[in-house]
Amino acid sequence: MLNFVQTLVAGLLIGGVYALVSIGLSLILGVMRIINFAQGEFMMLAMYFTYFVTAALGVSVFADFVGPLVAAMLAGPVMYIVGILVYRVLLRHVSGTSSGGQDAQLLITLGISLILQNAALMAFGPTAFTLHTSLSADIWKIGPIIVNRALAIAFGVSIVLTAGFYVFMSRFRAGKILRACADNPQAAVYMGLDPHKAHARAFGIGVGLTAIAGGLVATYYPFTPYIGLNFIVIMFVAVVLGGLGSTTGAFFGGLIVGVVQQLWTLVMPMELQDAGVFLLFLLILFFRPQGLFGKKYV
Amino acid sequence: MRTGYKAALAAIGLAVTFSFGAMAGETVRIAQVIPLTGPWADLGQMAREGAKIAAEEINAAGGIKSLGGKKIEVVVADAGGSPESAKNATQRLISDYPDLSAGMGAILSSMTLAATTATEQAGLPWVTQSYATSITERGLKHVFQIVPDSKTIAGETFPILTKIAKAATGKTPSKLAIIRDNTAASQDFFKPMLDGGFEKLGITVSVDAAYTPPLSDATPIALKVRSSDADLVFLFITALPDVKRVLEALNQYDIKLPITAQAATLGMPGVAGAIKTDALEGLISTAGIWPGAKQKAVVEKFKQATGENWMPEPALAGYSGTWILKEAIEAAGSADRSVITKALHEMDLKDGPAAAALPTGAVHFDETGKIASPTITAFEWLNGKPYTIYPPQAAEADPKWPTR
């Protein structure tokens, strides 16, 4: 029983990070109708950003988790600007349903992904970078349950940010504009909204959220220019599981992926850990093709 | 960190190959196919540095004397991150450089298995530091394995570990917790042991936690080990992030068992920065070709050239591979592939840099292309650095049984 609870906790903590990573991708998909294959690489850039900012801040000045946490949070706005620039230069002409440019979208985002991977390889080399903090090695004990500090902090930040994002999308005008442009871009234009501006903002926020998640992951996971490949499949599974374009769905999709991935190991060989996730994925697609929180279109 | 400009060009696809050693004029070209991009790029980068040092030494000493002092030129191709990309890179290299005399690579066993199908077809003599037993058991005529194969390493690793344990504690561990990824090298290593090898040694397997990399979280593994009656942990993990997560999880769940391993990854310079040194302290790993006391001179050269604190396994493999090919060409007195293959089959070196570079101290291959009288090596993390502890004649430090 203790092993079950411990594994469940580990799954929830990992799932919280997956959730934040996936919300960014889901927002981009929902508002812009762009399948962003470069999302993992934006996450990777944020990890390097977190590394260098943490080094610049000096972890010894603060409590050892403050430096990495501040750096990870800073990665959000910085990558928001990067996202907007990438949108304006490369994606502007292929976003939205009316562009009919899905082939172009795939090629451009895949191209961005390859360029970012190799640019990072040129700049940082193939050796894994590790944040110099004891966060990942330290634990908190809650009764008999052991909680990894890095994962617990990442989980906490993910929950707060997700809640903040939910409030932004439902209560603030800027969030409502994004939803309007996602739901009916043509009607949004009639109402005097600028879908391109909304798309740029959505891409920036989507990249920024994933970037913060990347910064948090960097506190416990060594990374190389290819780290994005480890997460992109998980992101897509979480997004489709939750319902294409539904950010709430992506959140729960991420949590479910984390929990299933870990609990599966209690009953099946660890080698089949991801098989459990994909089995659930197929079952949900079979019984509920629109995903858990997706809308059913007739 | 020190990615060369040319490697970077290769990485972005502007150039698939580049070369070092002698660049122009009368040269003998040899190939090196190694991952310079993808998850194993740091291993390839180390192998490239090793080959570079060897080529500089060879050319500074007058090149290949039997060919009138022709210089050696190493043409490097990026094997990428998969067996397919390794095979494609090898095929392209062979067609772009029809004058290639021999070659080496491709670090990972799965990549070498793919690349050598192309080299065999081209009749290109090929030396490899990959472990997989199957590399030299396919009846290929031109492939030579300069390190002990997986079967040999697996067969020798556990007696060595139990011997060290017995000497230190008076007891031999008999219940094993295996933590491994399910890569080709890992499967090749454990198959003979799980098929009766452990039984013969009186070892029972309490936990066999095999996973598909990358590892999302090591909690389930640590819980399995904690609930078991194991008295020794043995790791076979290829990727550094996975090593970090496993070692940290074992610490966090207060698992006090000694930790041992068979992993080139654990000897890479990047490990020291990625994992807290107290988690590494006392960790013993066996390796196919780890530099010892005899390789001190080349280790110093490598440290000066790269700024690293020690020479890891792939670097020594690149170094020794280049020297072995040079000696084969020297003995052949020809740059012709078939004559060099014959020279490799007949090679029986007991001195010189090629022999000194290998733990065996000699270079001789059996009829299948495996190195004769293979000697495995082992290192132990002591005070934040890996020290050679086996074989005794190469040892830099006395082995200490890891206590946690």
DSSP, collapsed to helix, strand or coil, labels residue A148 as strand
CA dihedral B300, B305, B306, B312 (to 10 degrees): -40
Which residue of chain A comes nearest to B246, CA vs CA?
A: A137
Round to whole Å and give the CA distance between A252 and A291. 11
* Average pLDDT value for residue range B169-176: 91
| pLDDT in the model for residue B17 | 67
| pLDDT in the model for residue B12 | 44
The residue with greater pLDDT, B28 or B403, is B28
A132 touches chain B (CB under 8 A): yes
A136 touches chain B (CB under 8 A): yes
| pLDDT in the model for residue B75 | 96
- CB contacts < 8 A, A to B, total 113
Chain A interface disruption, residue of B40, B78, B216, most A CBs within 10 A: B216
Which residue matches tokens 């219940």? B175
- Angle at alpha carbon of residue B243, lines to B241 and B244, rounded to 5°: 65
pLDDT more than 70, % of chain B: 95
Rg of the Cα trace of chain A? 19
Q: Which two tokens stand for residue A256?
A: 């479910």
Which residue of chain B comes nearest to A261, CA vs CA?
A: B216
Confidence of residue B156 (pLDDT cuts 50, 70, 90): very high
User: Would the pLDDT of B5 be above 50?
Assistant: no
| pLDDT in the model for residue A134 | 78
| pLDDT in the model for residue A290 | 87
Half-sphere exposure of A259 (CA within 13 A, CB side): 14
* Average pLDDT value for residue range B284-308: 92
The residue among B156, B113, B107 whose CA lies nearest residue B134 is: B113
Confidence of residue B404 (pLDDT cuts 50, 70, 90): low
- Angle at alpha carbon of residue B386, lines to B258 and B198, rounded to 5°: 40
Contact B41 A121 (CB under 8 A): yes
Cβ-based neighbour number of residue A102 at 10 Å: 13
Which residue matches tokens 């769940």? B253
| pLDDT in the model for residue B6 | 43
CB–CB of A138/A1 below 8 Å? no
DSSP, res A223: B
Tell me which residue in B2, B11, B81 faces A118 most closely, judged by beta carbons: B11
In this predicted structure, which of A288-297, B38-47, B223-232, B296-305 has the lowest mean pLDDT?
A288-297
User: Would the pLDDT of B40 be above 80?
Assistant: yes
Round to whole Å and give the CA distance between B329 and B15. 28
* Average pLDDT value for residue range B242-252: 90
The residue among A219, A181, A210, A218 whose CA lies nearest residue A197 is: A181
Which residue matches tokens 């058991």? B137
Round to whole Å and give the CA distance between B69 and B63. 5
Q: Which two tokens stand for residue A177?
A: 């504009």
Average predicted confidence (pLDDT) for chain B: 90
Contact A223 B241 (CB under 8 A): yes
Q: Which two tokens stand for residue B279?
A: 């988690």
If contacts are CB pairs under 8 Å, which of residues 146-165 in chain A contact chain B?
Answer: 146, 148, 151
pLDDT digits (tens, 9 = 90+) for B53-96: 999 999 999 999 999 999 999 999 999 888 999 999 999 999 99
A221 touches chain B (CB under 8 A): yes
Identify any residues that bridge with A139 across adjacent strands, giving them in sequence order.
Answer: A148
B270 touches chain A (CB under 8 A): yes
**Residue B275, phi-psi category: left (phi > 0), alpha (psi -120 to 50), beta (remainder):** beta
Distance from the A74 Cα atom to the nearest Cα atom in chain B, whole angstroms:
23
CA A187 centroid distance within chain: 29
In this predicted structure, which of A145-154, A278-287, B37-46, B374-383 has the lowest mean pLDDT?
B37-46
Round to whole Å and give the CA distance between B327 and B239. 34
Identify any residues that bridge with B260 across adjacent strands, giving them in sequence order.
Answer: B234, B284
Half-sphere exposure of B151 (CA within 13 A, CB side): 11
Residues 6 or more apart in contact with residue B253 via CB below 8 angstroms? A146, B219, B222, B223, B225, B226
Which residue type, as a one-letter code, is found at position B103? G
The residue with greater pLDDT, B227 or A105, is B227
3-state helix, strand, coil in chain A (%, to 5): 75, 5, 20
Per-residue pLDDT of chain A (298 residues; tens, 9 = 90+): 888 999 999 999 999 999 999 999 999 988 888 889 999 999 999 999 999 998 888 755 556 778 889 999 999 999 999 999 999 999 888 876 555 567 788 899 999 999 999 999 889 988 788 887 777 878 899 989 999 988 999 999 999 999 999 999 999 999 999 988 888 878 888 988 888 899 999 999 999 999 999 999 999 888 989 899 889 989 999 999 988 878 889 999 999 999 999 999 999 888 888 888 999 989 988 999 888 887 765 4
| pLDDT in the model for residue B264 | 77
| pLDDT in the model for residue B16 | 53
Chain B interface disruption, residue of A130, A135, A233, most B CBs within 10 A: A130
A10 touches chain B (CB under 8 A): yes
